[in-house]
Amino acid sequence: MSKVVRGKYTSEAVCGFNHRTAVEEAARCLLCHDAPCSKGCPAGTDPAKFIRSIRFRNIKGAAETIRENNPLGGTCARICPYDRLCEEACSRCGIDRPIEIGKLQRYAIEQEEIFEMNILEAPETVRDEKIACIGAGPASLACSAELAKAGYQVTVFEREEKAGGVLTYGIVPSRLPQEVVEHDIRQIEKLGVEFQFGKEVSVCELSAFDAVFLGIGLWEPKLPEIDGIHLKGVYSALEYLKEARIKKEGFEKGTKVVVVGGGDVAVDCAVTAKLLGAEEVRMVYRRTLEEAPGNMTEFQYALSLGIGITTNMAPSALRGKERVEFAEFKGRDALSELKISCDTVIFAIGQRGADMGKAMEADNVFAAGDIVNGGKTAVEAVAEGKAAAADIIKYLDMKGVK
């Protein structure tokens, strides 16, 4: 079982493996010939191979397998929903419990950083074609890494000050420390990928590139059409998380906080408020906890911090003069009602993307990640970014033949 640490906002909540415990866990692997765990990873990280390497104490080999298949190996090791992907597919599920694949992946990448392993290097031959990646989220990062490994000149344009997208601005540091994201990005930079920050690239500038990849994510909030939605103290999830990541302890987190939603983002908002010092934090979800999309381990962590969870209630109105003072809810049974005193309400009920208009009509424009799939996991964005890179390479090869 993973050891949970109740720390500060920037302290990682779950402890990782050391060398002894990592090798012991890897030794539980059944060494399946046609490993179902590897089939269960959308990004093709190949858990079966890196677990074997750890089992036989070839730690560098494990790190190489992860890093070569998944440029965001360290990040995904922290936030992947393993319980419904590779670990759910593990053959040991029918015996006792699955191998803790996520923690083994985390261990291997931590060793990569500690021993300064140089796994990814820029190719010796650089091609003439130039590709622009718009946005520096998981899909763009994965796409840019694959293209750079193939020798293409890649420039990533990001309007924020740091790369990572939702990884940097939309996840609580206790679940995903910023230094983990930055370590992954440094490995991508080693491939020769160029980053330009604080940059809103124009159509004219994009005309200088042979292909364009759009990985702009979902940053427009979905908010319910209820009374009081524009009161002070009402936030969308990513707005709240982003401000907290930038301002940290200087952020006005609220004293009595209500988080509406039942996904991992909602849990991140609640944990952020609590770790930054909010006195009372409560999550309210419109369905049952069993129906909630959030990871149960994350819910358990939230409960351990004293965060309350109310289910089967949907928001009906927010009340207050200038700042929100009460949040009103109606029950799923159409009879029950709930009124909660609060000074901050956070809606974590989904995001929407900007309208790409006619951008996708051009032959040399590709897209992947949340802007295409509607908002899934980081590992799925990595998988889609890799697939998009393959499509771009195929397109450029066909263009070159012509």
**pLDDT value of position 1:** 46
Kindly report the number of other CB atoms within 10 A of residue 316's CB atom: 16
Q: How confident is the model at residue 232 (pLDDT cuts 50, 70, 90)?
A: very high
Q: How confident is the model at residue 399 (pLDDT cuts 50, 70, 90)?
A: confident
pLDDT mean over 48-54: 98
Q: Give pTM, 2 decimals.
A: 0.94
Q: How confident is the model at residue 353 (pLDDT cuts 50, 70, 90)?
A: confident
Per-residue pLDDT tens for 130-185? 999 999 999 999 999 999 999 999 999 999 999 999 999 999 999 999 999 999 99
Report CA-CA distances (Å) from 96 to 29, 33, 99, 168, 294.
Answer: 12, 20, 10, 36, 24
Distance CA 101, CA 115 (A): 21
Whether residue 273 is predicted with pLDDT greater than 90 in this model: the reply is: yes
CB 385 within 8 A of CB 368: yes
Distance CA 251, CA 278 (A): 11
Q: How confident is the model at residue 358 (pLDDT cuts 50, 70, 90)?
A: low
